[in-house]
Copies of this chain bind each other. A is one copy, B any other.
Amino acid sequence: MLNLENTIERFKDLLTQNDEQLLKEELNNLHYADIAEIFEALTEEERLKSFNVLPEDDAAELLEFLSPQIQVEILSDLDEEKASRIILKMPHDSVADVLGDLDDSDSENYLNKLPERISNQIRELLSYPEDSAGGIMNSDVITVDKDMTVDEVVSFLRIKAETDKVELLYVYVTDKSGHLLGVLSLRSLFTTPPYVKVEDIMIKDLVKVHVDDDQEIAAETLSKYGILAVPVVDHYGKLKGIVTWDDAQDVVEEETTEEILQSSGIATDVVDEDEILQGPLLMAVRARTPWLLITLVGEFIAVTVAKYYHITLEALPLIAIFMPLLAGLGGNIGTQSITLMVRGLSTGQVTLSDALKQIWREMRVGILIGAAFGILVMFITWGWQHNITLGIVVGSAMALNMSLATVIGTVTPFMLKRINIDPAIASGPVIATTIDVLGLAVYFSLVTFSLKWLI
């Protein structure tokens, strides 16, 4: 692999020396993906300078490897005429992505500069919701007519491959008005006699998605059926584009990020994930507040529970110091159970029909660890406070609390899933609070019950 740090060093040197010739050579030797990584480490000015050294074809290819922020930055910094020429060389879906990230007026500006046929196609792509199959598809698809012969298709592809930069994964077969009829694998073109009509060798029973389908459905379809691209059709069954494996990869990454953020109580459904990290501050606040408010309500219930035992607390204030210990470990082991179940449900490693088996398993894990930690805490407390009763009370509370936490952490995701609520969204904060409330109740009951031996 490339030693990126050294290359960045050398790169920065060349930029300072203003040696365009060497810079060009250096860029020529690197893969776009590597240049993109180097670009991340440069300043805005350095990026623009390096970008301008590249021939426009290469510049268009490189642009696709850059992050959306840097794409927008470079396009805004570039001379407008040049930017338009580069945009014209990019695949339509990438152009739609970049223009979608620009201000409306800037993106209109570029669209007006493009040839009408292309700007219409891109406008159509921009009209689909960003997270729909239509929003991520590429409308540059290679289609052939059902009446063509294998030989005709091969010649057609030969010409296409020379002139276009379209990715060649499958060949789709349509009728004269563009309705999707079937698909050809490249392999079948190799193995069929040249005079056969494609209609007779195409796979008719093909998997497809609808322009309005959620992007996640498109990605899941690719992964489930193990295919490299899925065709996207409109209401009339006309082929509008394809979603390819690399689009699907991006979707999976995005969905995973949402799942992870939601599990910590960040509402990615109200605020876009990029905005939370980079958008206006109030957007970040808005994404993070809802679940904190729910936690606030839950914790005030915990406060009420503790208040209920105020007589016990006043009789023996020392017992309060163990509250964080119990809450901390209960919360921790409970979170482990939630995380295991939520992730398992999301990858399919755990299913609803496993619920009882998993609950029973987690319960035993909880009891085992709870007992061990209970005994440990008992001895520590006893040794530290020289009070064996206190040791027993705190130790028992710990064991009960940890066992209880695993059960709640395991049962809740299954229950939510059963009533069709995404367990990733609601589990974390609600369960943590529930564990806090129940844990306190258990602890204070135990203390109250044993108070006469404690004082």
User: Which residues of the partner chain B approach A392 to less than 8 Å between Cβ atoms?
Assistant: none
Question: Is B373's CB under 8 angstroms from A292's CB?
Answer: yes
**Cα-based distance from A295 to B373 in the complex (angstroms):** 11
Query: A177 near B: Cβ within 8 Å?
Result: no
User: Which residues of the partner chain B approach A350 to less than 8 Å between Cβ atoms?
Assistant: 277
Question: Is A336's CB under 8 angstroms from B266's CB?
Answer: yes
Query: A418 near B: Cβ within 8 Å?
Result: no
Indicate which residue in B186, B253, B310 contacts A186 across the interface (CB closer than 8 Å).
B186
Question: Is B320's CB under 8 angstroms from A323's CB?
Answer: yes
Question: Is B436's CB under 8 angstroms from A324's CB?
Answer: yes
Question: Is A329's CB under 8 angstroms from B161's CB?
Answer: no
User: Which residues of the partner chain B approach A176 to less than 8 Å between Cβ atoms?
Assistant: none
Question: Is A327's CB under 8 angstroms from B329's CB?
Answer: no
Q: Which of A435-455 contact B (CB under 8 A)?
A: 436, 440
Interface string of A67-80 (1 = CB under 8 A from B): 10000000000000
Q: Which of A301-318 contact B (CB under 8 A)?
A: 302-303, 306-307, 310, 313-314, 317-318
User: Which residues of the partner chain B approach A285 to less than 8 Å between Cβ atoms?
Assistant: 365, 368-369
Query: A22 near B: Cβ within 8 Å?
Result: no
Question: Is B292's CB under 8 angstroms from A332's CB?
Answer: yes
Q: A33-B226, A158-B191, A321-B306 are in contact. Are A340 and B249 (CB under 8 A)?
A: no
Binds B, one of A10-18, A96-104, A108-116, A256-264: A256-264
User: Which residues of the partner chain B approach A63 to less than 8 Å between Cβ atoms?
Assistant: none
Question: Is B289's CB under 8 angstroms from A303's CB?
Answer: no
Question: Is A190's CB under 8 angstroms from B158's CB?
Answer: yes
Question: Is A306's CB under 8 angstroms from B333's CB?
Answer: no
User: Which residues of the partner chain B approach A292 to less than 8 Å between Cβ atoms?
Assistant: 329, 332-333, 369, 373
Q: Size of chain A's interface in residues, with CB distance under 8 A? A: 103
Interface of A is mostly: helix
Q: A207-B31, A277-B340, A339-B266 are in contact. Are A313 and B321 (CB under 8 A)?
A: yes
Question: Is A317's CB under 8 angstroms from B323's CB?
Answer: no
Query: A415 near B: Cβ within 8 Å?
Result: no
| A303 CB → nearest B CB, Å | 5
Question: Is B340's CB under 8 angstroms from A266's CB?
Answer: yes
**Cα-based distance from A407 to B434 in the complex (angstroms):** 26
Question: Is A33's CB under 8 angstroms from B328's CB?
Answer: no
Indicate which residue in B41, B191, B223, B329 contacts A353 across the interface (CB closer than 8 Å).
B41
Interface string of A407-448 (1 = CB under 8 A from B): 000000000000000000000110011001000100000000
Query: A236 near B: Cβ within 8 Å?
Result: no
Question: Is A31's CB under 8 angstroms from B377's CB?
Answer: no
Q: Which of A225-250 contact B (CB under 8 A)?
A: 225-226, 228, 245-246, 249
Can you report 24 residue pairs joining A to B where beta carbons are below 8 Å apart?
A31-B207, A161-B191, A168-B187, A223-B249, A226-B246, A245-B245, A253-B347, A260-B339, A261-B339, A265-B332, A266-B336, A266-B339, A266-B340, A277-B349, A277-B358, A284-B365, A292-B333, A298-B328, A299-B324, A306-B323, A317-B320, A320-B323, A323-B323, A327-B328
**What are the 4 closest A-B residue pairs judged by CB atoms, nearest first?**
A320-B320, A306-B321, A264-B339, A299-B328
